[in-house]
Amino acid sequence: MLDNPLLQPWLTPFETPPFDQIKPEHFIPAFEQAFADHVAEIEAIAADPAAPDFDNTITALERSGRLLNRVAAVFYDLVSAHSSPALLEIDSDVSLRMARHWNPILMNAALFARIDQLYQRRAELGLTPEQARLLERTYTRFHRAGAGLDQSAKDRLAAINERLAQLGTSFSHHLLGDEQDWFMEIGPDDCDGLPDSFVAAAKAAAEERGLAGKAVVTLSRSSVEPFLKSSTRRDLREKVYKAFIARGDNGNGNDNNAIITEILQLREETAKLLGYPTFAAYRLDDSMAKTPEAVRDLLQRVWRPARARALADRDALQALIAEEGGNFELAPWDWRYYAEKLRQRRADFDDAAIKPYLTLDNMIAAAFDTAQRLFGLSFTLRSDVPVWHPDVRVWEVKDRTGAHKALFYGDYFARPSKRSGAWMTSLRDQQKLDGAIAPLIINVCNFAKGTGGAPALLSPDDARTLFHEFGHALHGLLSDVTYPSLSGTAVFTDFVELPSQLYEHWQEQPQVLQRFARHHQSGEPLPDDLLRRFLAARQFNQGFATVEFVASALIDLEFHTQPAAAIGEIASFEQRELAKIGMPQEIALRHRPTQFGHIFSGDHYASGYYSYMWSEVMDADAFGAFEEAGNIFDAKVAQRLHDHIYAAGGARDPAEAYVAFRGRDPAPDALLRRRGLLDQAEAA
């Protein structure tokens, strides 16, 4: 395969992947070569006649698998952000091969014996703190993968892992399939209440589906939510809502119910093989939270006031319907619509009024400017770096001294080849094991394009998402560690949302909005009055937002703590659990089980969806450090934030890192205060 660009040196600027040359048929041969190289490296480490030491075992492991990392990073970026039927077919094959590759490595007895010996002698090895952390993480990773089990348990675990890999891939393909298949055409009579920007985006979405001249609502969240918020057509809202919550649950070839049942059984079996009573107990043992009980405590503490607030809001929405002469009960497809009306009345503010001020490019500039003020970074657009789609833009990131720091890829627009949601990932992680390696960091979002020459306009939620993902990006861009497996976002799942959620705080600061929120036509800044009303409205509908999130997190926890055999039919389980917690009937889960990719597309967030809230306890408290300093860009606080959080990767224990930044543990009430639920907590 001399002509396979994945196996050649990359002679591009910054040695980036030559996306313009990479074709689907290059992946399987490249993976095969990468697996073979990696196996040879691992065998050499395991069979080393020299006694194990940190360098010949742990550092050698860190150096292994470079080609595999390189190929896999490109592959998964494409599968998520720009897939094709050919890539999806390869994905099913690759996920199985990946499990078959990793199982024998993570369960290699000779290799684990070396790691174990070092771990037992860790105090005598004279390690730096980062090395000590790396040894502990390496030992834990192998131990938790079953490296210490007997052969029959290892064989079973390997078979389970292979099956889980296939199931997770099918789950996400099904979800993508249901999202791609459905759209609703809207004619001129169906647009009542819809902002012009929405109609323009609906036209662009139609054009992408080969329906030029028409307009369609799609099942992307950034199409569904604004439609539900603004369409006066109750019948159409119902139709869109029902299609949205039915994804993966339609009894067609994309149905995910049977997959969920099998995943839960296999995860439970995994946990038992590894000596844990439930999958949640296994999963949480290696997290900040540590136990299912600690997670449940946090979620319950938030649930009670959030539910009370949501119920009060529900009554207010019902009253509004009656006042308008409506003779129907508030349904789930009505909530966002009437909540928006109520907000306009209470706060005299609606999202559509601010949207013309939130252009995508200005919000990107705001995110960059914030990073410049806090961390001294500068960003320059580069047009010479190959990308996977013409919409992708690349910026070179430099530090305070003007030295090259990283590349940042922004892929912001929705398209049919992209899975839903927003995420950060990397094509190459920072490390300096053998010389400094600069990272290649990606943000992917699903914003609607502008049309007719108008720029893309963001809703306040979109703008917040942009800052959120950019916060993750900074965690990768600013990473300053030696070892690749501790780089950037390689931290506990319940810590990883701290850098992202914390960054959201700057997006809603008057100082930032006054400068960057400018009308896309007139260039006028956001009027003070509108700004004030916008900020006042931020806490509106937090009961709803908190309820749909916490209920999803609780369901995730229940899925992974109750015996799999007792769960039964997934929809009935969902109903039963929601009844138990007194879920308001007018609110659905943020992610119903058959579309809960966080926990079923892979196991990364399985019994880990609570992580966002765990991190929020910290981010709400962390921003307070800037408020207390009286300056949201305070240089000293920013330096501590940089050193202990954004640059630290997984090189130290996260609870210690937080205390090093803040000088104390996070105060638990900050979260409720931020969501405007503190009064409710005292009343409840």
**Contact residues for Zn ion (CB under 5 A)?**
497, 500
Shortest spacing between CB 408 and Zn ion, in angstroms:
16
CA distance 407 to 405: 7
Residue nearer to Zn ion on the CB measure, 443 or 500: 500
Helices 360-375 and 493-507: crossing angle, nearest 10°?
A: 110
CA distance 508 to 619: 14
Find out whether 43 and 434 touch, Cβ atoms under 8 Å: no
Residue nearer to Zn ion on the CB measure, 278 or 611: 611
Residue 64 C-alpha from the chain's centroid: 27
| Cα dihedral 198, 199, 203, 208 in deg (nearest 10) | 20
Residue 247 C-alpha from the chain's centroid: 19
Shortest spacing between CB 490 and Zn ion, in angstroms:
15
Residue nearer to Zn ion on the CB measure, 6 or 458: 458
Shortest spacing between CB 508 and Zn ion, in angstroms:
17
Residue nearer to Zn ion on the CB measure, 52 or 499: 499
Residue nearer to Zn ion on the CB measure, 497 or 621: 497
Shortest spacing between CB 468 and Zn ion, in angstroms:
6
Length of the chain (residues): 684
Residue nearer to Zn ion on the CB measure, 158 or 441: 441
DSSP state of 377: -
Shortest spacing between CB 497 and Zn ion, in angstroms:
5
Nearest to 490 by CA among 140, 149, 148, 169: 140
User: HEC profile for 203-256?
Assistant: HHHHHHCCCCCCCEEECCHHHHHHHHHHCCCHHHHHHHHHHHHCCCCCCCCCCC
CA distance 430 to 297: 36
Residue nearer to Zn ion on the CB measure, 446 or 500: 500
Taking the CB of residue 545, how many other CB atoms lie within 10 A of it? 17
Ordered DSSP codes for 3-45:
T-GGGS---SGGG---TTT--GGGHHHHHHHHHHHHHHHHHHH
Place of tokens 């039915």: 246
Residue nearer to Zn ion on the CB measure, 499 or 666: 499
Find out whether 441 and 426 touch, Cβ atoms under 8 Å: yes
Shortest spacing between CB 613 and Zn ion, in angstroms:
12
List, in sequence order, every residue forming a beta bridge with 381; answer none if it has no partner.
395
User: For 402-522, where are the alpha helices, taking DSSP H only?
Assistant: 460-477, 493-507, 510-516
Ordered DSSP codes for 623-640:
HHHHHHHT-TT-HHHHHH
- 286: CB partners within 8 A, 6+ apart: 140, 144, 492
Residue nearer to Zn ion on the CB measure, 65 or 471: 471
Shortest spacing between CB 367 and Zn ion, in angstroms:
14
Shortest spacing between CB 480 and Zn ion, in angstroms:
21
The one-letter amino acid at 363: M
Closest residue to Zn ion in the complex (CB): 500
Find out whether 639 and 328 touch, Cβ atoms under 8 Å: no
CA distance 444 to 460: 17
Shortest spacing between CB 506 and Zn ion, in angstroms:
16
Nearest to 353 by CA among 535, 517, 518, 530: 530
DSSP state of 292: H
Place of tokens 């298949």: 181
CA distance 351 to 460: 7
Return the active site residues: 469
Nearest to 675 by CA among 531, 548, 587, 588: 548
Burial of residue 386 (CB within 10 Å: 0-12, 13-18, 19+) is: middle
Residue nearer to Zn ion on the CB measure, 505 or 520: 505
Q: What are phi and psi of 290, to 5 degrees?
A: 80, -40
Residue nearer to Zn ion on the CB measure, 179 or 497: 497
Tell me the two tokens of residue 554. Answer: 């609780």
Residue nearer to Zn ion on the CB measure, 313 or 429: 429
Find out whether 684 and 308 touch, Cβ atoms under 8 Å: yes
CA distance 314 to 421: 27
- 535: CB partners within 8 A, 6+ apart: 508, 510
DSSP state of 594: G
Taking the CB of residue 9, how many other CB atoms lie within 10 A of it? 7
CA distance 7 to 344: 57
